[in-house]
Structure formats: C-alpha cells, structure tokens
C-alpha cells in the first residue's frame, strides 16, 4: 500500500469552499441537526472539527472540540495515520459521537446537540492504539490495533461508555504498541442483526468473526476465515445484510454471507475497480462508494435486486480528483443518502458531493485547512 501520483486531472468545478474557523463563527443557513464531524487526529491533542451542513450540502465551520486524548500515527503509514475505517462513529440511539485517541489508548464520547458537542467522556480503550469502533443497540466494541490486537466491549448509556466485563478478546497478532500500518487490523463491525462481530486483518489476510452471545460478550475465540481478496480492509453491508469487504491489494470488493456459526460464504468473488489501493467503503442506499488512496479517486458501485455488485462507471471513477483532493481516505454518507463526504489526507481537505439517482457524484463543497498528513493527519468522518 503506497501513495501513487495524482492520477487524473480534475474536470468538476468546486461549487462551495470554506476554511476552518473557530467556535462561535456565524454558521449560515443549515438544516436542523445536519452536521459533518471530522477527526483531526493531532498528535499533541486530538480534536473534532464540526461543520454545519446546509440543505444543498455545503458546509460552514461550527467549532473545534478537544477530545482529551492524543492522536496516533502507525509505523510507515503512507497517507492514513490510523490505517482503519470507523475511527469516528455516531450512535443515533444515544446521540453519542465516539472517537478513538490512538496515541493515548482511550476513547472519547460526546453527546451531540445540534452542531455542538457536550458532556465529554474519556475512557480506556482496553488495549493499545485503538483505531476502530462499532455500535449495535446498546453495545459498542473498540478495536485495538497495537500489540496482539484486541476487541473490547462497552455498554452505551446516556452518560457515555461503561466497560463490559469479560468482553475483551485477543486477535492474536504480533505488533508493537504502535503497529506497522500493513499488519494492523482494518476495521471492526457488527453485522446488521448484532449477532456477529467482524474484524479484518490485513497482513494475515483473514476476516475473523466472533459470534456474540445474548449477554453481549463475544465467543472465546474468533472463527478465522481466509479472505477472498488480498489485504482485506473496510467492511459494510447491503440492505439484505450481505457483507461487502474492500481489499487494498488489487482494489477489489468481495461479497459474503455471514453464517450463524461465524463461517463465511463467498457470494461474489473479488470485483476489481481498476484503481489503486481501495481501502474505504461506505453504503448509500443501493449504492456504495470506495476511496482509492493510491490515485485519489472515488469508485461507485451499485447492487441489483439479487445483491450482485457492479461498477457505476466502467473505468471505476465516480468523480475525478483535483489538486485539492489528494490522498483520498475515509468517507461518510449522510443518513438520507443524499450526500457523500470524502477526506483527502494529503491536501487536508474534505470534499462534499451530491449523490444522483443513478449514483453519479456532483461536487458541492470543499473544506480546506484541516490537518494534512505529515507526522500524522486527520482520519475519521461522520455525516448527519
């Protein structure tokens, strides 16, 4: 996984641009509760950058909030300091925004009130270098990428996270406390029914599944499945609960059914997109969008009624890159599936796109002034 050149030239114009401002700056017209949250992952002190989202998808800066922990940077990471998906998540049930503090071994949760973050809580992640979080019902699990790797469970309450005793499980890896980016796990995710906890491991080339018991605790050991494609990274699910896994080695996506016993059935073999280093994948209704960090492009996918995945564009590029859109990493889709927001690590920008009825993307905004990738860089984004 290496960062390649800029690739294609931009052909889409930027409609709206905003630069980071301090809390209290006038926000402009925005929909009620519509916001985009970006994790800065700063080494000296992690923070959440908040933007109000207008009905047309444009963004206005609405403040920056310290998490009370430190960001992190995995060894030899080329563009994405945390080398993961799901480092910043929102739980609508509790209205809590949860962020990893990889450099501190902690997790921060805030209560979201419109565009403000209140009632900050900082708690141990239960391991080294936390890099991904997943939520189902009143359960949250944190994936720790350092050392042997692990998952640790928490109850999600109105006051924040409470550790779930007896929920810690090792992943059996052999990393240092700060892992090598290529040997760290990529993501932890609950299946939509909350009955399984899934972890991708890059260098081991496995998709590991923990059946979850009725008390919220995982089985003692994971069911280890060989990945259908090389370097499994991001996880998402379609409407029917089929699991899609993005694979970085050849920029492919494989589709699985998660069986009750934790074994996987391959429903569709790895589908290549013709791009470089696909690591992130998010669903927007019947469409999916993947971030290709190697050449700074976004790929669009669609599923048919049988769950068969196909590219929305034959060359695998849903939107071309621009000079301010370099180092595509994490993505977020709004709850109504109307807008997609993409982090550009090298540029220190976030692009906003309107999602068309046929899956086309039209750029509506670019936010500048976010922490670019250097000693570390931003990673993690949520759109409401």
Predicted confidence at residue 211, as pLDDT, reads 98
d(CA 18, CA 36): 13
d(CA 49, CA 95): 17
HSE-up of residue 74 (Cα within 13 Å, Cβ side)? 27
d(CA 62, CA 140): 27
User: Is the model's pTM score more than 0.85?
Assistant: yes
d(CA 292, CA 246): 10
Q: What angle do CA 136, 109, 233 make, to 5 degrees?
A: 55
CB-based burial label for 4 (10 Å; 0-12, 13-18, 19+)? middle
Predicted confidence at residue 375, as pLDDT, reads 82
d(CA 64, CA 41): 12
CATH number of 17-383: 2.130.10.10
pLDDT exceeds cutoff 60 at 29: no
**What are the pLDDT digits (tens) for 197-216?**
999 999 999 999 999 999 99
Q: Judge whether 242 and 253 are in contact, CB under 8 Å.
A: no
Predicted confidence at residue 380, as pLDDT, reads 98
């Amino acid at each position: 996984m290496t960062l390649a050149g800029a690739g294609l030239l931009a052909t889409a114009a930027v409609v709206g641009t905003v630069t980071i401002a301090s809390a209290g700056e006038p926000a402009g017209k925005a929909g009620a509760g519509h916001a985009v949250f970006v994790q800065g992952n700063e080494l000296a002190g992690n923070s959440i950058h908040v933007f109000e989202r207008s009905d047309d998808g444009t963004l206005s800066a609405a403040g920056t909030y310290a998490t009370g922990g430190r960001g992190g940077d995995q060894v030899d990471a080329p563009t994405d300091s945390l080398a993961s998906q799901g480092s910043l998540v929102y739980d609508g049930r509790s209205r809590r925004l949860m962020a990893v503090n990889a450099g501190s071994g902690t997790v921060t949760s805030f209560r979201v009130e419109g565009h403000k973050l209140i009632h900050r809580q900082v708690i141990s992640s239960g391991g080294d270098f936390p890099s991904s979080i997943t939520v189902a019902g009143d359960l949250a699990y944190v994936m720790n990428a350092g050392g042997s790797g692990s998952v640790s469970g928490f109850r999600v309450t109105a006051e924040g996270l409470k550790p779930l005793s007896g929920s810690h499980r090792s992943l059996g890896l052999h990393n240092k406390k700060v892992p090598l980016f290529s040997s760290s796990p990529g993501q932890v995710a609950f299946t939509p029914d909350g009955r399984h906890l899934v972890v991708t491991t890059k260098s081991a080339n496995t998709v590991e599944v923990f059946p979850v018991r009725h008390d919220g605790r995982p089985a003692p050991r994971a069911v280890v499945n060989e990945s259908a494609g090389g370097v499994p990274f991001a996880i998402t699910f379609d409407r029917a609960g089929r699991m899609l896994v993005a694979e970085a080695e050849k920029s492919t996506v494989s589709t699985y059914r998660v069986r009750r016993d934790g074994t996987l059935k391959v429903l569709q073999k790895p589908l290549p997109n013709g791009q470089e280093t696909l690591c992130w994948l998010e669903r927007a209704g019947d469409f999916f969008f993947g971030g290709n960090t190697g050449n700074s492009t976004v790929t669009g996918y669609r599923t048919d009624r049988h769950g068969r995945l196909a590219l929305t564009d034959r060359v695998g590029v849903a939107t071309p890159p621009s000079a301010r859109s370099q180092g595509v990493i994490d993505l977020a889709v709004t709850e109504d599936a109307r807008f997609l927001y993409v982090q550009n690590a090298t540029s220190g920008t976030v692009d906003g796109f309107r999602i068309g009825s046929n899956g086309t993307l039209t750029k509506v905004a670019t936010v500048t002034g976010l922490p670019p990738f250097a000693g570390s860089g931003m990673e993690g984004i949520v759109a409401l």
